Amino acid sequence: MDSVLIIGAGAAGAVVAKKCGLNRDIFKHIHLASRTLSKCEKIQKECASPITISQLDADDSTQTIALINRIKPHLVINMALPYQDLAIMDACLATGVHYMDTANYEPKDVAKFEYSWQWAYQERFREKGLIAILGCGFDPGVTNIFCAHAQEVLFDEIHTIDIIDCNDGNHGKAFATNFNPEINLREVTQRGKYWKNGEWIDIDPLSIACMIDYPEVGARKSYLIYHEEEESLVQNIKGLKQIRFWMTFSDNYIKHLDVLQNIGMTRIDPVRFQGIDIIPIEFLKALLPEPSSLAENYSGKTSIGCIIQGIKDGKQVRHLIYNVCDHAMCNKEVQAQAVSYTTGVPPVVGAIMLFQGHWQGNGVFNVEQLPAQPFLAELTKQGLPWHIWELKEAEQAALFAV
């Protein structure tokens, strides 16, 4: 296997194409497709080695099937919108091609994401002898694999997981989102939840917060939100008693978000305006800066990881497994900011795992179900080094007090 089709030419999709182009010994044929051909043309010019491109409406499975049949890839990496996951999975089944994505399916008319729709494809992919790899970004993705590594190597029993995500960067804009504005705002404004003692507990959006000490960044206010990797980790980490996801948002971000919500700009239902239906959040997306445009002047770092508690050799231990990524360094390498880089590099690593035979199987898999060690070794080589820090009893006291 050596041929890949990348669908989606946004900020993270551009990173996938460029990193594949920097690994030409593995990716002999690279094709990039997007609804907006001009985005593909720009990325094509910026790649270190030649790639081919196409215009594609990924909502239409027949178009995707025709493109796959024409270019004959071994793997489709879906970097399009989560609404398009099922249509692209259908196209992969119809053409006998392996599938990978970085975010789970979300229906366009409901701000809700869960794996049930994609897990339902298990038998169809198994019967076709194909693998569908779900959530191979950073979170979900690398954070899942951190947990799998912890289960295999660092713990005899894992009791609690706190996934922590901090972007301590500064892009100099009054308000902007680091990935697709529509998806970002839908994710943040929906109700939060976490899993404890066998049940999901719902909370109001952004209603629980605490100070978390992030490596190479420091203490930052972090909000408890729901994130999709929790759903699969509950299934695949044995003995788990609690899992939560925390993300930082600046006071400025929260201020703008409150105003946008109060005036209805985050609504996902149609509003009649001058005789036509518009969806406010889609109109807002058109007004906000493109995430790919933020890289040039972005400073600071992202700090993302997992704080895991459990038992090893009869003793209670706590480990923090994490990566720190510098915005300016990402821009220097592939003209991207760190949020796009940390999302775009892992699917390239996952594709390498598949092409080199480290990841195998028939059916639908979340990444924590696949071998962690070769992935983590390659992740460092591809620009995302990871570290393990054993926490002392007094460290992260504010988090553990919640």
CA–CA gap between residue 262 and residue 253 (Å, rounded): 14
pLDDT score at 189: 79
Neighbours of 262 (CB within 10 A): 9
CA–CA gap between residue 67 and residue 31 (Å, rounded): 10
pLDDT score at 366: 98
CA–CA gap between residue 344 and residue 302 (Å, rounded): 14
- pLDDT at position 240 over 90: yes
Give the pLDDT band of residue 251 (cuts 50, 70, 90): confident
Buried b (16+ CB within 10 A) or exposed e, 281-314: beebbeebeebbebbeebebbbbbbbbbbbeeee
CA–CA gap between residue 175 and residue 310 (Å, rounded): 40
Query: What DSSP state is assigned to residue 82?
Result: G
Considering just the CA atoms, what is the radius of gyration of the chain in Å?
20
What does each C-alpha distance from 157 to 230, 238, 371 come to in angstroms?
A: 17, 7, 19
Q: Measured at the alpha carbon of residue 103, what is the angle toward residues 44 and 382, in degrees to the nearest 5?
A: 55
Of residues 132 and 295, which shows the higher confidence score?
Answer: 132
CA–CA gap between residue 322 and residue 398 (Å, rounded): 19
Name which of 5-14, 171-180, 245-254 the model is least confident about.
171-180
Contact 369, 141 (CB under 8 A): no
Of residues 293 and 380, which shows the higher confidence score?
Answer: 380
Reported as a single tens digit per residue, the pLDDT across 306-337 is 999 999 999 999 999 999 999 999 999 999 99
103 SS3 class? coil
Amino acid residing at 100: M
- pLDDT at position 186 over 80: no
- pLDDT at position 21 over 80: yes
Residues 6+ apart with CB under 8 A from 270: 277, 278, 279
Structural element, H or E, at residue 288:
none
What does each C-alpha distance from 228 to 173, 225, 277, 364 come to in angstroms?
A: 28, 10, 31, 16
- pLDDT at position 16 over 90: yes
Q: Where are the beta strands (DSSP E) in 79-173?
A: 98-101, 131-134, 157-167
Tell which residue, 140, 137, 141, 18, has the closest CA to residue 78: 137
pLDDT score at 111: 66
Buried b (16+ CB within 10 A) or exposed e, 212-251: bbbbebeebbbbbbbbbbbbbbeebbeebeebbbbbbbee
Amino acid residing at 266: T
pLDDT score at 179: 65
Reported as a single tens digit per residue, the pLDDT across 76-99 is 999 999 999 999 999 999 999 999
- pLDDT at position 50 over 70: yes
Q: Measured at the alpha carbon of residue 306, what is the angle toward residues 84 and 182, in degrees to the nearest 5?
A: 30
| Length of the chain (residues) | 402
pLDDT score at 127: 98
Across all residues in the chain, what is the average pLDDT?
Answer: 94
349 SS3 class? helix
Of residues 160 and 189, which shows the higher confidence score?
Answer: 160
Q: What tokens were used for 321? A: 């497994």
Evaluate if pTM is beyond 0.85: yes
Q: What tokens were used for 159? A: 């009791």
Reported as a single tens digit per residue, the pLDDT across 368-393 is 999 999 999 999 999 999 999 999 98
Residues 6+ apart with CB under 8 A from 40: 9, 32, 33, 34, 53, 54, 55
Query: What DSSP state is assigned to residue 257?
Result: H
Domains and CATH numbers, the chain: 3-134 (3.40.50.720), 142-336+385-401 (3.30.360.10)
Q: Where are the beta strands (DSSP E) in 228-358?
A: 242-248, 271-273, 276-278, 301-312, 315-326
